[in-house]
């Protein structure tokens, strides 16, 4: 059997294994028995190709289910959820870039230790904490002590009664966060308290090289953000920070709403569109500097890798990076990868890292459904729209927007209870501006580090592009039946 087929089957069964275990709760022992049975049968009928496939399938099914099982903690005294609605003292490390909101800094603590009558004992699970915005600094990698009544995250009531409530718990679970602390009684980013005696300074030094590198990457990101903030007005800078740095919280609520109504929300998720564009940009730029094609390829991929890490490596960006990297590499070695395998490989890598994403990460689901839709339906739709002229790429854009939505639309309807009818038009009007916006946006944040006048000028130009996007979104969201509420 061809190796790409073997990969296809293994990966597919791995995904099915994770999916099955996510949906149905069963004792993994039975699956083990089943896999064993498959193994025995396969050995008996080894000569037949089908039986070898069966073995392969059974093994990866089991592996997938086991991977998810390993990520699901048990409700014992080691599990943070066991302490729900109790006042506890915890020490943990900030495990990702703190999220700056208007009134708080939202931090996620991992590697938690619980103060159990003077004894520090490790507990499983992560906790989200609303830390005060001023007075203390909270950075990635810091150790933080809290005393808090911890809660299970629930649903957040929608302000608009027509809207569906947001299942915050579901969303957080995909990130491994099982508890929240909305109002800590005490919080100390220096980690030392009378109760939890530990040497904080030595812990800081324990940051590994990789963690320290990541800290520097985040500092760079902050600098980029400052360049955007200093050169653009609030609404415009928010949109740009979301689109090129992944700060999605910066977008003002009314604009977010307009994007949802017009089906443009995907433009603020950094995904295949941006990643391929940046890859091509870097490649051309490095070519201008006189690098060979091989060197440009590796260097641009390296930069892109750090970029994806910097923006937080969320599912859509990571998926796009993995796929474009493997695809470009396969072209380089002269064995073009099959599209299906590319998608599966990206999914397998992301799910090996976080198997919960399949079930709980909306971004993951939407991103993969969009790419599946593109793959299957874009050629078909292109055929249907023969009558549309392909001047200014109108036909291909139309086919692209529609095909990307085939699978995502039902999911969006399920999660948000809203379907945008005007999305094709809105996308047709907005998509062509994105390459220009991204290019100038990156030029601005880079030039801001060395030549602030240039950044300022580019910022002025950017305002107009951003205004155009906002104008389209707000105008089209006013159209009757722009979106329908389910």
Partner 1 sequence: MRVFNYKIFFIIIILLALLVASYFYYIHENQKQEILFFDVGQGDAIFVNLAGNNEILIDGGPDNSVLYKLGRFMPLYDRSLELMILTHHHEDHLFGLIEVLKRYRVKKILMYCESAKENLTDVLTEFFDLIAKEKAQILCAEDLTKLDLNSALLIMIYPKKNCAVCAADPGGNNSSLVFRLDIDQGEKILLTGDIEEKAEKEILATNAPGILKSDILKVPHHGSETSLIEEFLAEVSPEKAVISVGQDNKFGHPSLRTIKRLERMGVEILRTDEMGDIIIKE
Count the Cβ atoms, other than its own, within 10 Å of residue 295. 13
Minimum gap (Å) between residue 162 Cβ and partner 1: 21
Nearer to partner 1, 415 or 467 (CB): 467
119-122 and 99-100 beta bridge pairing? unpaired
Nearer to partner 1, 76 or 233 (CB): 233
d(CA 359, CA 417): 18
Minimum gap (Å) between residue 102 Cβ and partner 1: 6
Q: How far is CA 362 from the centre of its chain?
A: 9
Using CB atoms within 10 Å of the CB of residue 439, give its burial: 0 to 12 exposed, 13 to 18 middle, 19+ buried.
middle
DSSP result, 198-224: --HHHHHHT--HHHHHHHHHHHHHHHH
Minimum gap (Å) between residue 299 Cβ and partner 1: 18
Q: Which residues contact 411 (CB under 8 A, 6 or more apart)?
A: 362, 365, 366, 369
d(CA 13, CA 329): 25
Nearer to partner 1, 122 or 132 (CB): 132
Nearer to partner 1, 103 or 117 (CB): 103
Minimum gap (Å) between residue 437 Cβ and partner 1: 11
Tracing tokens 């360049």 back to the chain, one arrives at 227
Minimum gap (Å) between residue 277 Cβ and partner 1: 6
Minimum gap (Å) between residue 78 Cβ and partner 1: 35
Nearer to partner 1, 102 or 205 (CB): 102
Nearer to partner 1, 158 or 436 (CB): 436
Contact assessment for residue 350 and residue 11, using Cβ atoms and an 8 Å cutoff = no
Which of 22, 356, 367, 412 minimizes the C-alpha distance to 171? 356
Nearer to partner 1, 273 or 406 (CB): 273
Nearer to partner 1, 49 or 230 (CB): 230
Tell me 41's DSSP state: H
Tracing tokens 């800290």 back to the chain, one arrives at 215
Minimum gap (Å) between residue 360 Cβ and partner 1: 30
d(CA 368, CA 374): 10
Q: Which residues contact 22 (CB under 8 A, 6 or more apart)?
A: 68, 356, 358, 359
Q: Is 314 helix (H, G, I), strand (E, B) or coil?
A: coil
Interface with partner 1 (CB under 8 A): 102-103, 132, 134-136, 226, 229-231, 233-237, 252, 276-277, 280-281, 284, 435-436, 439, 456, 460-461, 463-465
Minimum gap (Å) between residue 254 Cβ and partner 1: 10
Which of 408, 400, 407 minimizes the C-alpha distance to 424? 400
Nearer to partner 1, 115 or 433 (CB): 433
Minimum gap (Å) between residue 180 Cβ and partner 1: 22
87-94 and 104-116 beta bridge pairing? antiparallel
């Amino acid at each position: 059997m061809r190796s790409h087929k073997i990969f296809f089957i293994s990966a597919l069964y791995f995904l099915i294994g994770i999916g099955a275990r996510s949906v149905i709760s069963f004792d993994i022992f039975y699956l083990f028995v089943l896999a064993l049975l498959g193994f025995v049968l396969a050995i008996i009928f080894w000569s037949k190709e089908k039986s070898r496939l069966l073995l392969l399938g059974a093994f990866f099914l089991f592996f997938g289910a086991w991977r998810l099982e390993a990520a699901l903690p048990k409700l014992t005294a080691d599990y943070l959820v066991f302490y729900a609605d109790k006042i506890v003292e915890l020490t943990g490390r900030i495990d990702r870039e703190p999220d700056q909101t208007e009134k708080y800094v939202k931090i996620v603590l991992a590697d938690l230790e619980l103060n159990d009558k003077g004894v520090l004992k490790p507990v499983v699970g992560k906790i989200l904490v609303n830390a005060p915005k001023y007075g203390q600094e909270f950075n990635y990698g810091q150790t933080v002590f809290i005393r808090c009544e911890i809660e299970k995250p629930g649903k957040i009531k929608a302000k608009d009664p027509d809207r569906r409530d947001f299942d915050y718990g579901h969303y957080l679970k995909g990130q491994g966060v099982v508890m929240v602390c909305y109002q800590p009684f005490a919080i100390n980013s220096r980690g030392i308290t009378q109760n939890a005696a530990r040497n904080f300074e030595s812990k800081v030094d324990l940051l590994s090289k990789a963690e320290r590198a990541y800290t520097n990457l985040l500092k760079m990101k902050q600098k980029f953000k400052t360049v955007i903030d200093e050169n653009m007005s609030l609404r415009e800078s928010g949109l740009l920070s979301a689109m090129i740095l992944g700060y999605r919280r910066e977008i003002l609520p009314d604009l977010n709403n307009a994007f949802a109504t017009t089906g443009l929300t995907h433009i603020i998720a950094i995904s295949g569109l941006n990643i391929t564009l940046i890859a091509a940009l870097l490649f051309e730029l490095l070519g201008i500097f006189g690098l060979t094609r091989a060197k440009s390829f590796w260097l641009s991929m390296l930069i892109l890798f750090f970029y994806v890490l910097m923006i937080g490596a969320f599912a859509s960006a990571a998926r796009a990076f993995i796929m474009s990297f493997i695809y470009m590499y396969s072209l380089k070695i002269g064995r073009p990868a099959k599209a299906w395998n590319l998608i599966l490989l990206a999914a397998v890598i992301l799910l090996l890292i976080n198997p919960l994403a399949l079930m709980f990460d909306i971004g993951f689901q939407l991103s993969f459904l969009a790419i599946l839709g593109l793959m299957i339906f874009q050629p078909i739709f292109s055929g249907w729209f023969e009558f549309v002229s392909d001047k200014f790429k109108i036909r291909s854009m139309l086919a692209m927007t529609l095909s990307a939505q085939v699978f995502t639309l039902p999911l969006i309807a399920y999660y948000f209870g809203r379907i945008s009818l005007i999305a094709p038009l809105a996308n047709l009007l907005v998509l062509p501006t994105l390459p220009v916006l991204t290019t100038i946006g990156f030029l601005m944040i880079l030039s801001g580090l060395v030549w602030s006048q240039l950044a300022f000028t580019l910022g002025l130009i950017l305002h107009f592009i951003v205004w155009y996007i906002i104008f389209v979104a707000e105008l089209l969201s006013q159209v009757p039946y722009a979106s329908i509420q389910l």
